[in-house]
């Protein structure tokens, strides 16, 4: 009698455990981690030295440092590249964007986390923000300390990125970067410090939110066009138009504009002084580049915050230039490359710079 009671008790207990495991498994979403390299996959000589090699360890080794992500998601990992992001390039961008689009079109994939070096993270984030055709969360994550350092920031950042990717509140917000417990929008991303773990900011608009106790808390929403509301589509492209950035400073000459014209670039972004102003020599050379060679010119600024506004000191309409508004030179270059896949009419390009 007693043994039949304990048999039944054990049977009920086992059933409850199996059902709750099943419910838990059903609730867990599938997140793909696409690795591209950077410090987050970097290896130092010792735990305390500053020097290290970016992109040294594989995605599977990297994820061993943060086993907790398996409690919140089904993780699948792929190595897309393994480079320091100073070497990020159009080929990897196109490969990444196409793979993200492919994966997100599958109904069983809930979101993507991309590990990336921090040097050009803002450019890749913006490129994906304009070329991913899905509302599902896409989060970039990096670290400022290599995986072998004391207090490496990578594992915590990866955990927070996965936690943000699985949250329903993260849907439809555009591509984001999660680092240092902050959620940052690709619409206004800037690396602001060469070494600090808190390097990333949204200097014009402020962060999208924070990650607290493994949950995203959003405090702003972007009004800029992105992802499924973007007009740009690179899925059938295997090349992007060449666009260069030219800096203005005291005494800046036409030297680099001439070189760009000779190299047959399709577009030039200026990193001007103040409100996107440029020396007269630069301005004259750029006006000729537009008129004689059909090169698209967008004025941006080397100043970190504030718009490069139309209708100020430069007569943009007279020269056929566009003004970048809140896009810094690096995002402006990405947007102009994509704009040039559709048009080189400066009025259309100006519209795009007002909307994205």
Task: Provide the binding-site residues for ligand DGL, judged by CB under 6 A.
Answer: 38-39, 54, 84-86, 117-119, 142, 144
Q: Which of 30, 36, 39, 308 is catalytic?
A: 39
What sign for the dihedral angle of Cα 63, 66, 71, 72? Answer: negative
Q: Taking the CB of residue 142, how many other CB atoms lie within 10 A of it?
A: 30
Alpha helices in the chain (DSSP H): 2-27, 59-64, 69-72, 90-104, 121-131, 154-166, 255-262, 280-293, 316-319, 329-339, 346-355
Q: In the bound complex, what is the minimum distance in angstroms from residue 143's beta carbon to ligand DGL?
A: 6
Q: In the bound complex, what is the minimum distance in angstroms from residue 191's beta carbon to ligand DGL?
A: 8
Q: Which is nearer to ligand DGL, 24 or 46 (CB)?
A: 46
User: Is 39 among the residues known to form the active site?
Assistant: yes
Strand 182-185 relative to strand 176-179, pairing? antiparallel
Determine the Cα–Cα distance for residues 56 and 60; give it in Å rounded to an integer: 12
Closest CA to 340 of 288, 265, 248, 246: 265
Q: Which is nearer to ligand DGL, 54 or 183 (CB)?
A: 54
3-state secondary structure of 151: coil
Q: Which is nearer to ligand DGL, 85 or 134 (CB)?
A: 85
Q: In the bound complex, what is the minimum distance in angstroms from residue 120's beta carbon to ligand DGL?
A: 6
Residue nearest ligand DGL, CB atom distance: 117
Q: In the bound complex, what is the minimum distance in angstroms from residue 139's beta carbon to ligand DGL?
A: 16
DSSP characters over 14-63? HHHHHHHHHHHHHHPEEEEEEEEESGGG-EESSSS-S-EETT-S-HHHHH
Q: Which is nearer to ligand DGL, 42 or 320 (CB)?
A: 42
Both ends of the chain: CA-CA distance in Å?
Answer: 74
Q: In the bound complex, what is the minimum distance in angstroms from residue 141's beta carbon to ligand DGL?
A: 11
Q: Which is nearer to ligand DGL, 58 or 279 (CB)?
A: 58
Determine the Cα–Cα distance for residues 95 and 285; give it in Å rounded to an integer: 35
Active-site positions read 39
């Amino acid at each position: 009698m007693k043994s039949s009671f304990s048999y039944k008790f054990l049977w009920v207990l086992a059933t409850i455990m199996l059902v709750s495991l099943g419910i838990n498994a059903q609730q867990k979403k599938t997140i793909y981690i696409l690795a591209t390299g950077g410090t987050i996959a970097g290896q130092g000589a010792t735990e305390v030295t500053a020097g290290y090699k970016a992109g040294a360890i594989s995605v599977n080794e990297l994820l061993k440092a943060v086993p907790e992500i398996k409690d919140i998601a089904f993780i699948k990992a792929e190595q897309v590249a393994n480079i320091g992001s100073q070497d990020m390039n159009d080929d990897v961008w196109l490969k990444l964007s196409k793979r993200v689009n492919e994966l997100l079109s599958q109904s069983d994939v809930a979101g993507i986390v991309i590990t990336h070096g921090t040097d050009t993270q803002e450019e890749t984030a913006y490129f994906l923000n304009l070329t991913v055709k899905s509302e599902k969360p896409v989060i970039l994550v990096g670290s400022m300390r290599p995986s072998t350092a004391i207090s490496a920031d990578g594992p915590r950042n990866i955990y927070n990125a996965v936690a943000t990717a699985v949250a329903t509140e993260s849907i439809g917000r555009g591509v984001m970067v999660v680092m240092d417990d902050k959620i940052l929008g690709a619409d206004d991303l800037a690396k602001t410090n060469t070494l600090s773990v808190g390097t990333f900011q949204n200097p014009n608009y402020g962060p999208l939110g924070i990650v607290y106790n493994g949950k995203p808390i959003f405090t702003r929403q972007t009004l800029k066009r992105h992802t499924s509301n973007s007009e740009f589509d690179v899925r059938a492209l295997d090349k992007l138009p060449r666009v260069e950035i030219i800096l203005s400073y005291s005494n800046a000459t036409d030297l680099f504009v001439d070189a760009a014209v000779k190299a047959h670039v399709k577009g030039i972004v200026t990193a001007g002084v103040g409100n996107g102003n440029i020396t007269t020599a630069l301005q004259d050379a750029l006006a000729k580049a537009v008129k004689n060679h059909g090169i698209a010119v967008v004025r941006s600024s080397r100043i970190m915050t504030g718009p490069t506004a139309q209708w100020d000191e430069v007569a943009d309409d007279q020269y056929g230039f566009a003004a970048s508004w809140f896009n810094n030179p690096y995002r402006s270059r990405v947007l102009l490359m994509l704009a040039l896949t559709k048009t080189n009419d400066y009025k259309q390009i100006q519209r795009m710079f007002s909307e994205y």
